[in-house]
Chains A and B, each alone.
Chain A
Amino acid sequence: MSEQFSEQDIQNLFQQHLPPVELPPELASAVRARVMDEVAMTFKAEDVFVQATQQSRQPSTVLDSRRRTAQRSSAPRRSFVDTLNERFGWWRFATGLALAGATAAIVLLLVLALPGILPDSGSETTGTTASSGAAVLPVESAPAEAAQVTVEGGTATILRAGAVLGDIGPGGSAELYPGDGLVTLSGNAVIDYFDGQRTYLGADSRVELLVLTRDGEVTNTSLMLHFGEARNEVNTLGPNSRFEIKTPVAVARASAGSAFTVSVPSSKEQAQLQVAAGAVDVEMEGNALTLTAGQQVAAVPGQPLAAQDIEPAGGQSVAIAPPTETPVTEVLTPTPVPTYTPVPPTEAPTEPPTAEPVATNTAAPTATNTPEPTATDTPAPTATHTPLPTFTPTPTDTPEPRTVRLIVPQNGVSGGKEEVFQWEPDFQLGEDEAYELIFWKPGQDPLTQGFGLALPTTQTRLTVDLQALDNRLGGLLDPGEYLWGVRLVRKSNPNERLEFLGASRLFTYTTAITDGAAGGGSGE
Chain B
Amino acid sequence: MNQYAAVPLRTDTQYLSQLKQGDENAWMQLLQDWQEPLYRYLCYALPDDEQAQQALGDTMEAVIRALPQYDGSVPLHSFLYSLAAQRVIFYYRKRRTGQYRRQRNGSESGGFKAVLHMLPQRYRQALLLRYHLGLSVTEVAQILGKSPQETETLLTQGGRQLQDAMGSAGLQL
Contacts and interface: CB of A to CB of B under 8 A. Distances in A.
Interface in A441-483: 467, 470-471, 475, 478-480
A102 interface: no
A421 interface: no
Interface in B156-170: 157-163, 167
Interface string A250-280: 0000000000000000011000000000000
B111 to A, nearest CB: 7
A43 B21 contact: yes
Interface size class of B (residues with CB under 8 A): 35 or more
Contact of B61 (A9, A12, A35, A522): A35
Given A4-B163, A5-B163, A478-B65, A11 B131 contact: yes
Interface string A150-171: 0000000000000000000000
Interface string B103-124: 0000000011100100011110
A523 B60 contact: no
A21 interface: yes
A78 interface: yes
A23 interface: yes
A15 interface: yes
A39 B89 contact: no
Contact of B44 (A18, A34, A78, A522): A18
Interface in A484-524: 510-513, 515-517, 521-524
A513 B123 CA distance: 13
B31 A32 contact: yes
Contact of A512 (B40, B82, B132, B161): B82
A14 interface: yes
Nearest to A45: B22
Nearest to A468: B93
Nearest to A34: B57
A297 interface: no
B11 interface: no
A364 interface: no
B25 to A, nearest CB: 11
A18 B112 contact: yes
B132 A14 contact: yes
Contacts of B36: 22-23, 28
Contacts of A480: 66, 69
**Size band of the interface chain A makes with B:** 35 or more
Contacts of A517: 122, 146, 150, 154
A81 to B, nearest CB: 11
Describe B's contact surface by its main secondary structure: helix
A23 B65 contact: no
Given A14-B131, A18-B113, A27-B39, A42 B160 contact: no
Contacts of A32: 28, 31, 35
Contacts of B5: none
Interface string A1-27: 110110101111111111011111001
B22 A40 contact: yes
B72 interface: no
A42 B89 contact: no
Contact of A471 (B21, B82, B94, B160): B94
Contacts of B28: 32, 36
A85 to B, nearest CB: 11
Interface in A321-338: none
Contacts of B56: 27, 31
A512 B113 contact: no
A39 B128 CA distance: 30
A38 interface: yes
B55 to A, nearest CB: 11
Interface string B72-98: 000000000010011001101110000
Given A9-B173, A515-B121, 12 more contacts: A10-B127, A13-B173, A14-B131, A23-B35, A38-B64, A43-B21, A471-B93, A479-B66, A517-B146, A523-B153, A523-B157, A524-B120
The 4 closest A-B pairs by CB, nearest first: A43-B22, A512-B145, A521-B150, A17-B112
